[in-house]
Structure formats: structure tokens, C-alpha cells
Chain A
């Protein structure tokens, strides 16, 4: 066991971990941050996407010890402390960007990384950026729409 220290959603944390402890295990089992989901555990689905030093990262495919000293952001850090949703989260709600919600934490974190890099992406750029995020439910259209809306671009309003 070795001590690892990082900041998670702005809060300094440290713990003893094994070499083989994945970041996603450290977050879920060590810190109780179960918003980061494990869909595939094989680096395919993107349900586990978090930010490591600002970059979208599959938390199931990186070791906690390789994040020593890093700044990690998870879905739990997206809403304001009073519970107000972030613009991306609110847009997912407004545009029905989720059904079962299992993929949503990864989708929101990928979307946040995209909008950091590219604040007004085209629809094609949104779709390309989400290549590593798989959704079994929605068919993606409303996810793409939500992200375009969150970027401040006009989109058709969902039918009531």
C-alpha cells in the first residue's frame, strides 16, 4: 500500500491504495463518490469519464497512483453547492438527454470537457467528441441537442 494524494472536486484527499487500485475504485469505494459509473470496465463505454487535470479521462482505465498530485473533477462537483444544476446538467433535463441515466455522468463530463476546449461546437463536432460515450437508451439525438443548447446555440425545443 502506498499513500496517494490528489484534489477531488477541489477538496484535498489522500489514502493508502494498492498499485492496482483504479481511479474509479478510489472514487467510488474509497471516497463514496458513486456518481462515476462503471459500465464496461474495458475502456469502451465512457460511463466512468472524469476530468484529470482538466482532461476527459476514463477512470476505469487509469491507476489512482498515476493521479498522485492531480486535480480530479467528477459529476458530484458539477452542480453548485446549493444543488443548482450546471448549465449542461440543466440542458440534459430540459432536452430529455437521458432515460435510464446510467451513461449520463460520463456524458456530462465529456460534454464539459468539449465545451472547455470548444465553446461553440457544431453538431458534427459534438457527435465526434462523444465517440467514446455509449448510450443504450436515448439514440443520442437529445444528448447532442442538450450539449448544443448548453453551449448557447439555438436548438429546436423538445415536443411536450
Chain B
């Protein structure tokens, strides 16, 4: 790891100011960034820890019934505190990595990173959530822009994410046991005005919506509604854990299981 300065501001305003310095980078829970620093894949001059900023931590409900989660909230806190409001989201957070990873890793860090096999991107996209930063609000459909790529500008901080709560939802994660990330996973969310299906761990473009399944499930919210559908293997991730064909197959199987479990 190369040397860097380390600052620990206590407000978003101070963090944004510190991130204005050349080569400064935000540090959330460090569960992705610290391994990257060790491998010298990142070499910031200053790390701006978000760990002391109380205003971006916590889970609450807004007046429209949406679950609002601070960008610095850990996965473990979401698993505990969102359970009563949005059980499928809490269950998803409670199965990220392992307990020690969940005690440090944050919602904001996961979304900023946008790993193609991460769990949160699927939940955010399927829920039609809004990503709130220090400067603007970004709809989930505009936020994810391909593997490890997002709408965030340099130095922009995720301060909060607002999740509309679906009538029924479920996340099915086929675990890659060595990394504990998703080999492939699907989040299904049924709203009064239609169903959203978001797939992670499958496409080389990162998280995506399976719109054919959304249309079929909006007509009939049953696993059988998927019977005639298939996902093309083209553009699916190919690695030693699974072929593109295998991942395409998993997408349909996991979507069916999610629908059955969401009921």
C-alpha cells in the first residue's frame, strides 16, 4: 500500500471539501477499497473517511412510506433496522459476504463501486430507488452505467438512498462460495403498477433489468409466466465459475424462485 494522508471529517460538507483536493478518495467501510489499496490498484493522495459522519447513517421511513437509508449505513444495520419496513431488502443485506464484512461495508460504498456481482445494485434497480448525493437525486435507471461505472461525478458522495416499498419482493442469490458474492442473483419487486426484475452477477454490462420477465410477471405473478422466456447467453460473464449459458439459465431459474418466494 502506498502512503496517503487520512482525514476523518464529521460532516458531509467537510468531506466534500476534503474530496476537492487532487487525488482524494472517499473511504466507506473499506471492504472493497482497502484490498484494492493493498494491491496498489488505487493510490489516492488523501483518504477521506466517512466513518465519523453521523448524518449519513441510519434507516428511517419518509412521509411517502419509502425506506430512507443513509449512504454510510452498514449492511448489518440495514439487515436489523430495515427488517420491519422492507423484509426482502433487509434479508438481502443480511446475506452480503459474512458478519464482519456486513459490520463495516456500507450501502454507499457498494453502490459507488457497482461490482457486477454485488447485491445492492439489484435491490436498488428492482425497487426503483432514488440515489441521493450531496448535489442531486439520481433515479436507479440512470445511475448504473455498466460494470464498475455509475453516474457519480468525481468527489460526489452518496448521502442517502430512498427505496419505495413493493407489495411483495424477494432476492434469490446463488452464492459463489469462495468470494461470497453472487455468482448470479435476481431481485424481484412487485408494485401496484407493475413488476421490476433486476439481475446481478450475470451480464458483462453489470446489473440490468429483465424487461421481458417484467412484462410477463406484471400480467401474471407466477413462476409459470416465465415458462416461454429465456435470456440470451450473449454478453453474459464467462469465468471459471460459470459459462454464459449457465448464467443465462440461472437468471430464469432464480427469477422463478424469487416469484414463488415473494408469493
Which residues of the other chain, B, contact A132 by a CB distance below 8 angstroms? Answer: 97-101, 180
Separation of A2 and B3 alpha carbons in the complex (Å) = 13
The A interface, classified by DSSP as helix, strand, loop or mixed, is mixed
Among B8, B34, B37, point to the contact of A65 (Cβ < 8 A): B8
Separation of A2 and B34 alpha carbons in the complex (Å) = 19
Q: In the assembled complex, how far is the CB of residue A20 from the closest CB belonging to chain B, in whole angstroms?
A: 5
Q: Is A55 close to B, CB under 8 A?
A: yes
How would residues 107 to 146 of chain A score, 1 for a CB under 8 Å from any chain B CB and 0 otherwise? 0001001100000000000000101110000000000000
Q: Is B199 close to A, CB under 8 A?
A: no
Q: Is B148 close to A, CB under 8 A?
A: no
Contact yes or no, A62 B104, CB < 8 A: yes
Q: In the assembled complex, how far is the CB of residue B253 from the closest CB belonging to chain A, in whole angstroms?
A: 23
Q: In the assembled complex, how far is the CB of residue B27 from the closest CB belonging to chain A, in whole angstroms?
A: 7
Contact yes or no, A19 B6, CB < 8 A: yes
CB-based nearest B residue for A69: B52
Q: Is A49 close to B, CB under 8 A?
A: yes
Q: In the assembled complex, how far is the CB of residue A64 from the closest CB belonging to chain B, in whole angstroms?
A: 9
Contact yes or no, B99 A68, CB < 8 A: no
Contact yes or no, B37 A43, CB < 8 A: no
Which residues of the other chain, A, contact B97 by a CB distance below 8 angstroms? Answer: 131-132
Which residues of the other chain, B, contact A68 by a CB distance below 8 angstroms? Answer: 8
Q: In the assembled complex, how far is the CB of residue A19 from the closest CB belonging to chain B, in whole angstroms?
A: 3
Contact yes or no, A110 B99, CB < 8 A: yes
The B interface, classified by DSSP as helix, strand, loop or mixed, is mixed
Identify the B interface with A (CB < 8 A). Answer: 1-6, 8, 27, 30-31, 34-35, 37-38, 47, 49, 51, 76, 97-101, 103-104, 180
| A43-B31, A46-B100, A61-B104 known; A19 vs B38 contact (CB < 8 Å) | no
CB-based nearest B residue for A131: B98
Among B1, B51, B99, point to the contact of A20 (Cβ < 8 A): B1
Which residues of the other chain, A, contact B31 by a CB distance below 8 angstroms? Answer: 43, 61
Q: Is A58 close to B, CB under 8 A?
A: yes
Separation of A40 and B31 alpha carbons in the complex (Å) = 14
Which residues of the other chain, B, contact A65 by a CB distance below 8 angstroms? Answer: 6, 8, 49
Identify the A interface with B (CB < 8 A). Answer: 2, 18-20, 22, 41-43, 46, 49, 52, 55-58, 61-63, 65-66, 68, 110, 113-114, 129, 131-133
Known: A19-B4, A19-B6, A131-B97. 4 other contacts (CB 8 A): A20-B2, A22-B34, A62-B104, A131-B98
Separation of A148 and B233 alpha carbons in the complex (Å) = 45
Separation of A19 and B1 alpha carbons in the complex (Å) = 11
Among A22, A43, A114, point to the contact of B101 (Cβ < 8 A): A43
Contact yes or no, B100 A42, CB < 8 A: no
Contact yes or no, B34 A19, CB < 8 A: no
Which residues of the other chain, A, contact B1 by a CB distance below 8 angstroms? Answer: 20
Contact yes or no, A63 B100, CB < 8 A: no
Separation of A103 and B27 alpha carbons in the complex (Å) = 28
CB-based nearest B residue for A70: B51
Separation of A131 and B27 alpha carbons in the complex (Å) = 25
Contact yes or no, B35 A61, CB < 8 A: yes
Q: In the assembled complex, how far is the CB of residue A58 from the closest CB belonging to chain B, in whole angstroms?
A: 5
Separation of A155 and B65 alpha carbons in the complex (Å) = 46
Which residues of the other chain, B, contact A66 by a CB distance below 8 angstroms? Answer: 8, 27, 30, 49, 51
Contact yes or no, B35 A43, CB < 8 A: yes
Separation of A18 and B104 alpha carbons in the complex (Å) = 21
Separation of A113 and B35 alpha carbons in the complex (Å) = 24
Separation of A65 and B3 alpha carbons in the complex (Å) = 14
| A19-B3, A19-B47, A20-B4 known; A61 vs B34 contact (CB < 8 Å) | yes
Separation of A58 and B104 alpha carbons in the complex (Å) = 9
